A and B are shown apart, each in its own frame.
Chain A
Amino acid sequence: MNLIIKIAWRNIMRHKGKSMVIGVILFLGALLMTVGNGVISGMDRGMQKNIVDGFTGDALLVSDKQESDNVFLEFMGKSVAPINNFEQIDSALKAIPYVKNRLPIGKNFAVALNEEGGTMDGVFVLGVDFKEYFNFFGNNLKLIEGALPTDNTKPFVLVPTGWRKQSGEYYSILFTPDGVTPDTSTLGKEILDRMSDMTYKHSIVYMGMNTDNSTTDVRVPVKAIVKYRSLNTIWGNFPILDIESYRQCLGYFGAEEKKTVVKKELADLLSSEEESLDNMFSKEATVAPVTKSKILSEGSLFVKKDTVQSSVDLNAGAFNIILLRFKEGSNLEKTVATLNKDLTDKKLGVRAISWKKSTGMIGSMAVLIKTSLFVFVMFLFFVAIIIIVNTLSMAAIERTSEIGMMRAIGARKGFIRSMFLGETAVLSAVFGGAGILVGILIVNILAAFNIPTDNDMVQLLFGGDTFKPFLSVLDILLAVVQLVIVTVIAVIYPIKVASSITPLDAISRE
């Protein structure tokens, strides 16, 4: 082996020109691959962090009746099934040690009515208890106009810049909080050019859409214009309503209804069997028996009708999704699997899904981009392979005398193969290794700069509001493996050429 490496190294030094051509190709290929891996990994990490920290949490609970896992971005999908028993689920979650925090939210499709005539486009709306929302996500919303809700603010809608821009561009309606001048920096050129055509609106009428057609129209005042701090291009089309307005909009029985103090007689009446109600109107009126009854509206399914409360408990109403944060260091997939087992045992009627599944394509975007980059770099490597094959084959033919003489004095074909492989391996290790090291250096330097961006599209590329390329050990190993593959592929044909040289070829050449 020492002999092969020695000959390989000296041949590299002897044929410096050819070695440099091959070396530079390997260096650039490895550099590109490493930096590309770093950028994509950074984007992947950034996107994961920003999606998890700013919108979905680590995992979600959805109703067992919910068919699709893609509860956030399934545009043509059915409405997200309601969760009726959050209080019961919440009690169970508090006993699960790896669940750090939870946030119940409503999420469904609604249509914004255009009071000037017709409807506007449909939009996914979120319904939240803003205090809980803030506790869960922290400062993930940047206030553009107006004021964020306080504990007692309701009803309200927080209009994100993306959806406001869309309304302005397509329907010439500009939503603003009452008494606030629009911040023109978020409107875009098209709206700014037509500012005089814009109709200013300070409230929105939403008509919820669900499978039961039990929705109602609800008018909500625009409390604030907000921007999601990260990935606003995606989340900027999700207006946030207070949970009670949301429930009303979607036709869910809200927590407010539970606040009503019901007289004993009325409570008895409400809980009467249908047959008993008939009896009340019969000639032989009798006192209705107090038994369980069917409730007429979908909303009433979500409230214990015998509960009499004096204050609003928002958790008592309906939700669609419960967002979860796990404790630090939890393995996402394993924890979701464990949680599902725990939930099944407790028969709570919900199941857990990872954030990746809940966001459909967005969750897989990094993988797609990574795959695309991999294919692109492999194409570059393919070109590199052709150049290297050509250069090495020429080198083999030029060294016919030397190889033929080695064969004449007893070197087997295997030795010649090893010698060529050794030369390419040394080149690959030196230049490709240098490419990887320089790539690691560049990635770390770029990461240290913490390059920020407020641009929505660039945020998509960055995976967040900061450019933070990152290389894991796996990414570096991937680059090494790719380098090895290129080396092996590139050397196959030249080895065949070199090992087929006979001593007679050398003599003939002389």
Chain B
Amino acid sequence: MNIIEIKGLKKDYALGKTTVHALRGIDLSIEKGDFLSIIGPSGSGKTTLLNVIGCIDFATEGSVKVGEREITSLNDRQITDIRLHKIGFIFQTFNLIPVLNALENVEFPLLLMKKHSRGDVKKKAEQLLEAVGLKDYIRHKPAELSGGQRQRVAIARALVTNPDIVLADEPTANLDSVTGASILDAMREMNRRDHTTFIFSTHDANVLKYASHVIKIKDGLLSKE
């Protein structure tokens, strides 16, 4: 079952008087439970593709379905709700709310959903932080955590809503190899356990061995390997 269906996706940016064709016509289907890696050089369109899939950016042309829903025709509120309920994000650098501690950061999406009791929210957030090895750091603010610990908090937060898809943009880019490996191990473990679809972009060839599928993108066009 495909969780993402992309057909004829094009994305153009205006850069001064010129137009940059970031994506030139992408057709892509991603199955539920996939652990997909998108690779390519800088400026190839990896992040743009992730952003469109994650409803952060909008297609200039083409069709993008997340789940069964065509997202190109939705309004801001509907798009936001898809991001909240269906998608988890792990960003490369900007990842946590600075004024909230680790536990509160993980609780944040659940509190936005307003579906769970305060006790359930806390319990679930604590469980996830424990799962990513941060049981002893739940009261620490982001500034008091290392880069790896922050990414682990981001993973916990991305998973706390039980999303269908987790998007990670170069999740190990700023981490040392050991920490990067542990992050990927954690992601892979959750992929296996919960059948959550993971899509991540990377430059790092060492990361590729974790992927079940790899997509190569170059100049806004992709080829599946």
Q: How far is the CA of A407 from the CA of B93 in the complex (A)?
A: 16
Residue B136 CB within 8 A of the other chain: no
Chain B residues within 8 Å of A481, by CB: none
Q: How far is the CA of A407 from the CA of B79 in the complex (A)?
A: 10
**A409-B99 contact in complex given A404-B94, A510-B94, C-beta closer than 8 Å:** no
Minimum CB–CB distance for A401 against chain B, Å? 4
Q: Is the CB of B112 within 8 A of A408?
A: no
Q: Is the CB of A510 within 8 A of B92?
A: yes
Q: How far is the CA of A401 from the CA of B94 in the complex (A)?
A: 6
Chain B residues within 8 Å of A408, by CB: 54, 56, 83, 89, 91
Q: Is the CB of A507 within 8 A of B56?
A: yes
**A413-B76 contact in complex given A406-B97, A510-B93, C-beta closer than 8 Å:** yes
Chain B residues within 8 Å of A412, by CB: 77, 80-81, 112
Minimum CB–CB distance for A407 against chain B, Å? 7
Q: How far is the CA of A502 from the CA of B79 in the complex (A)?
A: 12
Identify whether the interface residues of A are mostly helix, strand, loop, or mixed.
Answer: helix
Q: Is the CB of A504 within 8 A of B94?
A: no
Q: How far is the CA of A193 from the CA of B85 in the complex (A)?
A: 91
Chain A residues within 8 Å of B98, by CB: 14, 402
Minimum CB–CB distance for B48 against chain A, Å? 10
Q: Is the CB of A10 within 8 A of B100?
A: yes
Chain A residues within 8 Å of B54, by CB: 408
Chain B residues within 8 Å of A509, by CB: 94
Q: Is the CB of B56 within 8 A of A409?
A: no
Q: Is the CB of B111 within 8 A of A3?
A: yes
Q: Is the CB of A410 within 8 A of B85?
A: yes
Chain B residues within 8 Å of A502, by CB: 56
Q: How far is the CA of A84 from the CA of B93 in the complex (A)?
A: 94
Q: Is the CB of A405 within 8 A of B91?
A: yes
**A407-B99 contact in complex given A415-B112, A503-B56, A504-B51, C-beta closer than 8 Å:** no
Residue A506 CB within 8 A of the other chain: yes
Q: Is the CB of A409 within 8 A of B157?
A: yes
Residue B109 CB within 8 A of the other chain: yes
Contact with B along A470-503 (1 / 0, CB 8 A): 0000000000000000000000000000000011
Residue B207 CB within 8 A of the other chain: no
- Report A375-410 residues with CB < 8 Å from chain B CB: 401-402, 404-410
Smallest CB gap from B58: residue in A:
A504
Q: Is the CB of B80 within 8 A of A7?
A: no
A/B interface sample: 13 pairs, CB < 8 A: A3-B111, A6-B104, A7-B100, A405-B95, A405-B97, A408-B89, A409-B89, A410-B84, A410-B109, A411-B84, A411-B112, A507-B51, A507-B91
A residues within 8 Å of B by Cβ? 3, 6-7, 10-11, 14, 401-402, 404-413, 415, 502-504, 506-507, 509-510
B residues within 8 Å of A by Cβ? 47, 51, 54, 56-57, 76-77, 80-81, 83-85, 88-89, 91-100, 104, 108-109, 111-113, 157-158, 161
